[in-house]
Amino acid sequence: MALSTESVSKPNVHKRIDALATRLRRRQLIGSREVALEVVRLLRDVVAGAKFSSFQQLVDHLEEVGRLLQEAGPKELVVTNMTRRICMLIREEYQTALSNHLDDTDNTGGNGGAGPSSSPNSPSDFASHTAGAAPTPALSRATSSFFPERRESGDILGRTTDGPLGSIFNLLGHSNATEGASRSALSAFGGLGGGGTATPGMGSPASSAAPSPIQSPESSQILQRPNPFANAADRNFASFNDDNAAANTPEEDDFSRRSFSLKPVFIEAIAELMDEVETTYRSVGEQAIEHIHSGEFIMTIGHSKTVEAFLKNAARKRKFTVICAETAPSFSGHKAALAYSSAGIATILIPDSNIFALLPRCSKVLVGPHVILADGALLSIAGSLPLCLAANRMRVPVVAVGGMFKFSPIYWGETADWGMRDLGSPEEVLPSTEECVRASSSLMGAMPPLGSEDDEEGDEAEEQEETEILNPYYDVVPADLVSLYISNLGGHPSSLLYRLLNDMYGSS
């Protein structure tokens, strides 16, 4: 597939892009953490060897590479997660450098100097004076249009002269409530004390009316759910530009053309993201002591390395028992039970049919999802949905454990239903007819000769009765069945996931 921004990367980088796309297409690379690391490494090399004439050209190239990899491996949504996360990180670095540059330009012009200063030629000049940098005009316009209640105050951060409490409430969008509370407090004392001039109407009886209702931004304003009928590829890799914002100034355009020198800053930001992904097991395991207590019975399903690291870290200071379901037909629970028992954890391996009977004795259920969707739904191994439904019936909390790279900004309705479930071989569920005939014949002690009338009748019956067998590898667990999400940043309830996604991927 030819890229429209192919000239940005070198030919050897394009070979690496095609090689990774081939591995994803052939399912030679499986697992969220492994795919995330490969994608981050590739995009880091893309940025390191890129030749671009503007910053937007670099972002467009990264989004196009991410779209190519996602089409090659549609079952690995972590490709979209890492691509959008990297675009968000380098855009933040670019906005910081642009703010510093415009601030230095304004200061130079205001001091009566020789006019606007020329654009810096080194990344150190771009990143200097980070403290107290003024926001860019484009960012100010976008923020003021995003929070209309702050437009009249003149301060993009919503700061007022009402003190720290007023600043906090204005930052949360409760400016009207703060003003009403201040009026009510002052009216109770009959105006301003200390000989100050009273505010008109402050001590009048009319001023004791009830304050205006609290107006807070809805969650849909911070992370809006996209149109499911729109183009999924364009929606998943939507540009971070604000279409409603005005055109860039000549200084911003000149800075964008000179942003080639910011590549070391971009690479450093991507390296920090890679370190975060690599240390996921350790950072998630460090929080196990806060959530697991001695004497608990914990049920798990499947074999998740994140859950394994979480339980092993807790076993250093806690004594508890893990009930592990065998997770047919993959039977990955056998590997999990062996890993837990080898770490000195008391482990009980049970068939899937005993889950409902043993759940009342458990204090919590741990699930290691493949990916966490934007609405909080889990894409987890098959068998997770009946386990979570039974836990909900028994009032047992369900805890999802996963790194931040598994949190996706995509909703379930935007993906192909059965394509995302990663169908496995039907042989794992029901053996073929020939194997069944051979097995039954061996039990009877005699196998019918080939070409006999019995075989011909069996072939005719097989042609007449065709059975379609589906073996999905993943289940979709709704968000209302999950009590808590534990990542390397801490625990998150489902009601605050939209803020977490807004911090990682922006409001696009």
* Non-local CB neighbours of 247 within 8 Å, separated by 6+ positions: none
d(CA 318, CA 452): 65
The confidence score (pLDDT) of residue 359 equals: 94
The answer to whether residues 59 and 10 belong to one domain is: yes
Residue 198 CB neighbour total at 10 angstroms: 13
In this prediction, residue 155 has a pLDDT band, given cuts at 50, 70 and 90, of very low
* Non-local CB neighbours of 317 within 8 Å, separated by 6+ positions: 289
- 298 DSSP assignment: E
The answer to whether residues 259 and 315 belong to one domain is: no
The confidence score (pLDDT) of residue 259 equals: 84
Q: What are phi and psi of 348, to 5 degrees?
A: -125, 120
Is 326:358 a contact under the CB 8 Å cutoff?
no
d(CA 265, CA 109): 27
d(CA 354, CA 390): 11
pTM, rounded to two decimals: 0.68
In this prediction, residue 28 has a pLDDT band, given cuts at 50, 70 and 90, of confident
The answer to whether residues 383 and 311 belong to one domain is: yes
- Residue scoring higher pLDDT (186 or 458): 458
Give me the amino acid identity at 301: I
* Non-local CB neighbours of 38 within 8 Å, separated by 6+ positions: 20, 23, 29
Percent of the chain whose predicted confidence (pLDDT) is above 70: 63
Per-residue buried b or exposed e for 397-430, using 16+ beta carbons within 10 Å of the residue's own CB: ebbbbbbbbbbbbbebebbeeeebbbebeeeeee
Decide if 425 is inside a domain: no
Is 364:387 a contact under the CB 8 Å cutoff?
no
The answer to whether residues 312 and 245 belong to one domain is: no
Q: Is the pLDDT of residue 386 over 60?
A: yes
Decide if 227 is inside a domain: no
d(CA 313, CA 337): 16
Decide if 127 is inside a domain: no
Q: Is the pLDDT of residue 230 over 60?
A: no
Look up the domain containing 157 and give its range: 148-193+200-216
d(CA 9, CA 49): 6
Decide if 262 is inside a domain: yes
The confidence score (pLDDT) of residue 300 equals: 96
The answer to whether residues 481 and 406 belong to one domain is: yes
The confidence score (pLDDT) of residue 420 equals: 63
CATH number at residue 47: 1.20.120.420
d(CA 177, CA 149): 12
Q: Of 224, 259, 278, which residue is a domain's last? A: 278
Decide if 129 is inside a domain: no
- Residue scoring higher pLDDT (479 or 121): 479
The confidence score (pLDDT) of residue 319 equals: 94
The answer to whether residues 409 and 286 belong to one domain is: yes
The confidence score (pLDDT) of residue 498 equals: 86
- pLDDT tens figures, 236-294: 554 444 443 446 788 888 888 888 889 999 999 999 999 999 999 999 999 999 999 99
Q: Mean pLDDT over residues 133-151, rounded?
A: 42
Decide if 355 is inside a domain: yes
Give me the amino acid identity at 406: K
- Helix or strand (DSSP H, E) at 322: strand 321-325
Q: Mean pLDDT over residues 436-455, rounded?
A: 55
Q: Is the pLDDT of residue 340 over 90?
A: yes
The confidence score (pLDDT) of residue 244 equals: 38
The answer to whether residues 322 and 401 belong to one domain is: yes
The confidence score (pLDDT) of residue 439 equals: 60
Q: Is the four-CA dihedral 151, 155, 156, 157 of positive or negative sign?
A: negative
The answer to whether residues 293 and 176 belong to one domain is: no
**Coil, strand or helix at 105:** helix
Q: Of 118-127, 371-380, 410-419, 438-447, where does mean pLDDT reach its minimum?
A: 118-127
d(CA 198, CA 469): 80
* Non-local CB neighbours of 116 within 8 Å, separated by 6+ positions: 105, 108, 109, 251
Decide if 463 is inside a domain: no
Burial class (CB in 10 A: 0-12, 13-18, 19+), 159: middle
Q: Is the pLDDT of residue 93 over 80?
A: yes
The answer to whether residues 332 and 257 belong to one domain is: no
The answer to whether residues 396 and 253 belong to one domain is: no
The answer to whether residues 386 and 247 belong to one domain is: no
The answer to whether residues 410 and 308 belong to one domain is: yes
Decide if 433 is inside a domain: no
| Total count of domains within the chain | 3
CATH number at residue 323: 3.40.50.10470
Q: Of 278, 296, 329, which residue is a domain's last? A: 278
d(CA 49, CA 263): 9
Average pLDDT for the chain = 74
